[in-house]
Amino acid sequence: MGLKNFVCASQQGLILDFVVYQGANSFASVPPDSNLGVGGSVVAHLAETLPVGTKIYCDGFFMTTSLVDYLLSKDKYITGTVMKTRIPKDAAKLSDYNALMKRGRGASECVVRGDVSVVKWYDNKPVVMMSAVHGIQPQDICRRWSKKEKKYMNVDRTAVIQNG
């Protein structure tokens, strides 16, 4: 048994809000019919105190399409990694991981659904991100270490990876 303390922090690490998880009643501000799950309810609850237009960044534990849609309805914008099992069905148009790996480091693809982008990017392994803020463009170049070649190499990087 233990406590879970979920924290909303600024880019500088300043704690803006927090909630101690105490079961289903911990997120009273989120409508029970929203189907956000525990992770999505955490973000939605903590986002209630944030101003309209806020950009929120989180990891795959919290990220779902229903959370993105819920926050968009509140004029708040979210970006984060997304688990394979939570990738929206309309993102099935994206190449599978092996095809992306064959194209090499820096390869990326994007599917846009309304105001939401789903981006697959390959670095050392494939990364899937969903965002209501960033997409694939503008791309830049970042320096990444290559174990195989034992040197730094330049890799194309999408906007959602750069900013997420």
The model scores a pTM over 0.85 = no
pLDDT tens column, 11-64? 899 999 998 888 767 777 777 667 788 888 889 989 988 999 999 999 999 999
pLDDT higher for 1 or 98?
Answer: 98
| Burial class of 25 by CB neighbour count within 10 A (0 to 12, 13 to 18, 19+) | exposed
Structure confidence by residue, pLDDT tens digits, 62-86: 999 999 999 999 999 999 999 888 8
User: 78: Cβ–Cβ under 8 A, 6 or more apart, which residues?
Assistant: 43, 55, 56, 57, 58, 63, 67, 68, 71, 131, 132, 133
User: How many Cβ atoms are within 10 Å of 142's Cβ, its own excluded?
Assistant: 15
pLDDT above 90 covers what percent of the chain?
24
